[in-house]
Structures are given as structure tokens and as C-alpha cells.
Chain A
Amino acid sequence: MDPIFQVLRTVPPLAWLPISLAAFKDSQPSAIFVIFITSVWPVLINTAVGVQQVPQDYKNVARVLQLSKIEYFFSVLFPAIVPYVFTGLRIGVGLSWLAIVAAEMLIGGVGIGFFIWDSWNSSLISEIILALLYVGLVGLLLDKLVAFLGSLVLPPEQKS
């Protein structure tokens, strides 16, 4: 894996917030950027792994049939990496949900993150607990949703 990826990947989501605020000068696009930059790495890395893991047998078939680059991409490469992409997406969606909650706490004004922080400032511990449960359940639902989408796209034998 490229070291540039390794460096960028390990930067914590919230560390991106100041620089995106400086760049976008607005809280809404900054929050979206933070979500994007957090969730893009697992998708990228898994896709790269998927490309590396295309079985030699499939490559040999493509070589013997002399498939063109475009045909190879659509007939062999893309279908072969779809499961890896979905694995990346599931991790990415979880991470982005983490980033949203944290970003909302800092930016303030809207969202479940702000709600938790506001409850803390108002000493409403029970509401915090309720919100945490809510955050956890939504995270689970998001994960299941992506898994479901994956199962719609992937043929049964390729499900991981």
C-alpha cells in the first residue's frame, strides 16, 4: 500500500475539521468533507486489495481470449472486485457515522452530536444515554442497509 495512503488514512477525522473549515468557510460543507475523507480510505484500500486478489485463473482466461482493456474491466475486473468494494463501503459507512456525530459536537447547531453535547451542558445524563443508544442503533441499521444493498448486487456465491 502506498505510504501516502497510510499517512492520510491514520489522520483522525476531527483533525480534518479545522482545515476544512478554513477552506470552505462554512460549517455544512466542512462537515461533509470530514465525512468523505474519513470514509473514503477503507473503500479505496479494499478496492485496491480486490484488484490485487483477482484470481490468476480469471486473468488467464482473459489473456487467452485476448479481451480488450475495456472488456476486461467490465467482464472480469469489475465483477471480481465488487465484493471488496462492498466490504470497504460497510466499514466506510460505520466510520462516517462516527465522524458525523463527532463533527456535529464541534460545529454545533444541529444533529445528534450537538444534542449530546447540549444535554451534557444541561446536565441531562438520561438524555445522553438515550442518544447514545440511538446513535448505536442507527449505526447498526446503516451497516445492515449497506449489507443488504450488497446482497442485492452480488451473486450468492460471491457474498463474503
Chain B
Amino acid sequence: MLKFLEIDHLDKVFNLPNGGQYIALKNINLTINPGEFISLIGHSGCGKSTLLNLIAGLDRPSAGGVILEGKAINCPGPDRMVVFQNYSLLPWLTVRQNIALGVNRVLRHLPKGERRGIVESHIDLVRLRHAAHRRPAQLSGGMKQRVAIARALAIRPKVLLLDEPFGALDALTRGGLQEQLMQICQEHQVTCVMVTHDVDEALLLSDRVVMLTNGPAARIGQVLEVPIPRPRDRHSVLNHPAYYSLRNEMLYFLEQQKRSKKHKRTPVTTSANLEKVNLELGFIALSDSAPLLMAKEKGLFAKHGLDVNLNREPSWRAIAEGVAEGRLDAAPMVAGMPLALSLAPEPVPICTALTLSRNGNAITIGKQLYAQGLRSASNIKQFTENHPDQVPTFGVVHPASMQNLLLRHWLANSGTDPDQDVSILTIPPAQMVSNLKAGNIAGYCAGDPWNSRAVHEDLGVILATSLDLWSGHPEKVLGVHEDWAAQYPKTHVALVKALLEACAYCDDPRNRPEVAEILSRHLGTDLSYTRWGLVDAYDRGDGQEPEFLPRFFQFYTDQANCPDPAEHLWMLTQMARWGITPFPRNWVEVVDRLCQFEVFRQANAELNFPEQQRDRRAIRLFDELTFSPDDPLAYLHSLEIKRPIQINEALTTRE
């Protein structure tokens, strides 16, 4: 279907007089339906008016574009009429002439009498018949704005753009005008985009409220649907049961943005002088540690001026402690770990500027249970019902790991309660196979090569891979302590550069055999295990032909590396679902603080790599449930099997 008005990956960068650049808007995506009323809301200077000007065509985007009914917008035009903040009426023309100016120009194909009729009917529409012959100086502010609205509507625009239309008016006039505008829009089915900073105004008028984060590089933070039925009037809106919760949500968003404004991130500079050269990095013996190992082996750390020592850590817990204590400068972490640590009872604020890998996990089940018929999540449910004395135990590598979250989601989806019907143990990845062999666990969800190894040693069968559960899910992220990131910004960028380059190297099929070889050397495993999934076809051990899965490990392709707030938000909901962390009410702020886009952007730009940006979109797993980043709580509440959910305010401002 052709979209009516589409804002597509829009960036706006202003060149500063001192030669610098100011990124006003970054990666704005929005689709507007015909007849819809959209409000843009955000703090001053967040770029809402800039966005409106871009839609109007008064300004050109630096990247991306605005498309109206399939046509790109690159100049202003009467199909997108603007109602300016300061009215912009021509003072030497009367009310009638001001309206007629546009009508005579834009609708010049109509006969004169018809045009006059349009002008007169619009004068009546805004009830200014008595003042039609007056000049703007003789009108009050409210009347001027009515003229501006009439002028805009008279030329029958496809989209009406309003830039804080009632900002300069007193409350009484504003209220009256809002209702008039609402009526006019309802009667004429005008599509509107309005910039405002008035929460009530946005709620009264809009179908959707688009909330922008603070600049620089403002993004869409949240989109709020206003489900109040039309036709509306002020009274029905105020009495609508959803009104106050919506209002609170908006105020809360703005409050969060205000706080994160105070929490200033250290600016990233481009100098080659690094604050810290000797780095201690931790890693776990897993195939997806490849970028780290390759960066070391191929001298990429040295290339970017870093002297890195890699420490093989026994478990994810050791990694978490190492980074928290400062023993490790940085480490790849399982994707949920930064948030889990930041939200722990004794919070360790961790941030991430790079997603190191995607996919690479599988759910393996012991051969014996497989033979007994445990071949899918629903079989497990049956099995636990038939054998109430037996509680199958599954191993995962860390509570905040994607493995745990995916395994639980997979079990719960078929009605198995992962805490009551089965039990889940945390076991370091390298010990999974031996535990399976000893019969301590029935199966596990871990990263490769440990799944392949179980298959290879004829101990287990793979029931599902990442590609079956959530293809392209984030797996390892580069976690650093927030203080570390603030103290060594240049080193952070250099580290991200080295690893990003290594990620690109690892995803090149020509390099994969070499990657597998180096991995097997570092991991101390047979080469054939590490080649599995990375180079060779993937054998599930279920008797089927091994299948070639090119995306089983995804290190770079498909914009894999840019931090994605929506994915972290999904993990937040899952961790809250299983009682690992409480759900932070200020999730926008929490996730925003986690993802260090600036560092990533800078590193990517300095490498001259093609720009990466993750679309802000709904996430869908195998279960077809849609997770919308605008309403994580609704998603969380819609899940059937869950622990009691604790919602609290995460403390994020520290002095």
C-alpha cells in the first residue's frame, strides 16, 4: 500500500560557523496516514520545528527524505501549507487579501468567482466576517492565528503543518482555538502535523503523539497512541479514562528527558592521542568471541593504537565482576548483562556502543530424552505432565543472557513454566557438554561450539537454533563501565573501531576458515567444532542433512553492530518477566543511557564504513507476538506465564 506521508531515515546535520557539525535529528522514521493528526512533542531545541520545516520542504534533510504520496519532497509547496508560530501574515494586506493571496496563486485554475467564494467561506469558517477588511495590526493574537489557519486551509493542502500554533496565546483564546481547529480538522479530514510543547493540547487534538528525545541527534523516543474516540470535545477528552494515564506518560517522558539532559555525556573528540593504551579485555571460550580474537590476531588493536591483553575468563559472572571492579577494561557481554548490572540492587552502570554478534545459539537436548520423545517445547510440557516426579533441568550460561531469555520464552510459549515445570541452572558454557554427559542436565541453551560438540560427541540433539527463535537477535555486546567510558572516551572509540573492523573481517566468507582455525586454537577444541556453523553446514544431530546456515553467526552484515534500543527494551521486559530485574518505569532513559550511539557513530565514521542505523520497529519472534518499543508494558502484561512483575524507578542520575 502506498503510504501517505513517510519520513524515511531522516537525518539533519547543521554545519556550524566554526567548522563543526551539529546533528539535530538522527534516523527519524515515521509514517503518517491520511486524516491523521500527529503531534510532535519534546523539549526546546530537540529539533521538532526543524522536523516540521523538513516536512514543509523549507529545509533539506542531510540524509533520508520525506515522501508525500510517493513523491519525494525537496521544495516547499502549497500541498504542505504551514501555519507559522508567529502567524506570518502580510501586514499590508487585509484579512481577506491575506487569504486571497494564497487562493489566487494556488487555485488559479479555478474561475474568479469560485475563488472569491472559497475566500469568503474560509473567512466564515474561522468566524472573522466582522474583521475581513481589517489589517493584521488591528487584530488580536487569536484572530491573527485564525487568519493564518484560514489562509492555510483555503488552499486545500494535503497536509497542514502547524508550528506551535497557539504558543503565544492566552489560555482562554487557546482553548477556543483548539476546539475550532479540532472541529475543522474533523469536518475536512485534514492530515495535520503539529509541533507543540503543551501536553494537554497534544492529547486533545492528536491521534498519535510522537515524542522526541533531546538533541543533539534527537530520535523518536516513544510514540503514544491516543485512543480517545472522535468526534472529541474537551469535556469528553478530559473525562476519558485513559486521559490521565496518557498525560502522565507524556509528562514522565519529558521528565526523563530533562533528567538525561543533566546527565551529560563526555563529548567524543577525534584526536589520535588515547587516554589509555594498555587494555585488559575478558572473553569466554565461545565461537562468537571471534571478533575479539581476530582483532588481536590480525593486529587490529595495535592498528588503532591499543595494546590489548586478552584474558580467558571461566564464566560470565567472572566477566561481570571483572568489569565492575575495574580489573577488566571492557568485555563482550551476553546481551542482557549491561542492563542487568545497571539495574541490580547494587547497580553497576554499564554502557555499550557496539553489538558484537547476533545469533549463534541453539537449544540442545540430551540424546536419551530426545529418544524418549522430547523433541519440541510442547513435548516438554507433555513430558512433565506424564512424569510429575521428574523435573528436567536445563543449563543456561547466565540469567541475563539471551540464551536464558530465549529458552524461557520458548518453553513458556508452549505452556511450560520454566521455573515450575522444569528447572534452569546457570552453568558456564564450557562445562555444558560435560554436565550433559554426566546427566546433571537434560539439555541446555548455549552458544556454539558447545552445541556442535554435543552433537559431534553423540550426546545431544539440537532442537532449535537462533534462526528458529529470533533470527538476528543480539548476542554479545561490548560492555564497559560508564565511568570508564567517561574517563577514556578516545580509547573507547579506538576499541570500538578495532572490534568493528574485526566484526567485518569475521563476516567475510573468505576469512571464515581462518577464523575457525584461530578459534579452535584459542578455545582448545577440535577444528571441526568451530567450523560448524561458521564455515561448514550445521548438523542438528537429528538425522537430517546438515544445513548450511549463512547467518548462523552474524557479525557485521545487515547493520548488525549499531546498538539497538528496541532490542534492549525487549530484554528488559523479559528480565522483568522472570524476576531477574524490576522493570524500570523510566525505561526510555535507562535504555538511552545504555546505548552509546555517539561512540559507535564516531568509530564507524572514522573507519569510513557505510553508515549503520537500526530502525525503530516492532520486534517479532517465532511466536508471532509483536513487541512494540512504544508500549513494552502492554507486551509484558500480555504474556501469560510470568513472575510477579515489579515496576520501579531506576536511579540513573548520580552526581
Contact = CB atoms under 8 A, between A and B. Distances in A.
Contact of B105 (A58, A66, A156): A66
Contacts of B102: 65
B137 A65 contact: no
Interface stretch (B26-34, B86-94, B577-585): B86-94
B91 A64 contact: no
B92 A79 contact: yes
B76 A157 contact: no
A71 B135 CA distance: 20
A6 interface: no
Q: Which of A64, A67, A75 has the most CB of B within 10 A?
A: A64
A60 B88 contact: yes
B51 interface: no
A76 interface: yes
A63 interface: yes
B82 interface: yes
B56 interface: yes
Contact of A57 (B76, B86, B93, B105): B86
A155 interface: yes
Contacts of A71: 105
A4 B562 CA distance: 56
Contacts of B90: 58, 61, 75-76, 79
B80 interface: yes
Interface in A64-82: 64-68, 71, 75-76, 79-80
A76 B135 CA distance: 15
A60 B106 CA distance: 15
Contacts of B78: 64-66
A77 to B, nearest CB: 11
Given A65-B78, A66-B77, A155 B105 contact: no
Interface in B81-131: 81-82, 84, 86, 88, 90-93, 101-102, 105-106
B136 interface: yes
Interface in A137-160: 155-158
Contacts of B75: 63
Interface residues of B, number: 24
Contacts of A57: 84, 86, 88
B105 A67 contact: yes
A65 B86 contact: no
Contacts of A66: 76-78, 105-106
A22 B471 CA distance: 92
A75 B101 contact: yes
Given A64-B56, A64-B80, A65-B155, A58 B88 contact: yes
Contact of A155 (B58, B91, B106): B91
Contacts of B86: 57
A34 B56 CA distance: 51
A94 to B, nearest CB: 27
Interface residues of A, number: 20
Nearest to B84: A57
Q: Is the interface of B mostly helix, strand, loop or mixed?
A: loop
Interface string A14-37: 000000000000000000000000
A60 B101 contact: no
A61 B147 CA distance: 13
A63 B58 contact: yes
Contacts of B135: 155, 157
Contact of A158 (B76, B81, B91): B91
A158 B135 CA distance: 11
A68 B78 CA distance: 13
A55 B77 CA distance: 19
Interface string B131-171: 00001110000000000000000010000000000000000
Contacts of A157: 91, 135-137
B81 A64 contact: yes
B192 to A, nearest CB: 15
Given A57-B86, A57-B88, A63 B137 contact: no
Contacts of B82: 60, 64
A142 to B, nearest CB: 26
Q: Which of A65, A66, A67, A75 has the most CB of B within 10 A?
A: A65
Given A75-B90, A76-B90, A64 B76 contact: yes
B92 A155 contact: yes
A67 B90 CA distance: 14
Nearest to A64: B76
B91 A65 contact: no
A157 to B, nearest CB: 3
B53 to A, nearest CB: 9
Contacts of A79: 90, 92-93
B88 A158 contact: no
A60 B84 contact: yes
Nearest to B75: A63
A57 B88 CA distance: 5
Contacts of B58: 60, 63-64
Nearest to A60: B58
B77 A158 contact: no
A156 B75 CA distance: 35
B55 to A, nearest CB: 11
A155 to B, nearest CB: 5
26 contacts: A57-B84, A57-B88, A60-B58, A60-B76, A60-B84, A63-B76, A64-B77, A64-B81, A64-B82, A65-B78, A66-B76, A66-B105, A66-B106, A71-B105, A75-B93, A79-B90, A79-B92, A79-B93, A155-B135, A155-B137, A157-B91, A157-B135, A157-B136, A157-B137, A158-B91, A158-B92
Given A71-B105, A75-B101, 17 more contacts: A55-B88, A57-B86, A58-B90, A60-B76, A60-B88, A61-B88, A61-B90, A63-B58, A63-B76, A64-B80, A66-B77, A66-B78, A79-B92, A80-B92, A157-B91, A157-B137, A158-B91
Interface of A: 55, 57-58, 60-61, 63-68, 71, 75-76, 79-80, 155-158
Q: Which 8 A-B pairs have the closest CB atoms?
A: A157-B137, A57-B88, A79-B92, A63-B76, A64-B76, A65-B102, A61-B88, A65-B105
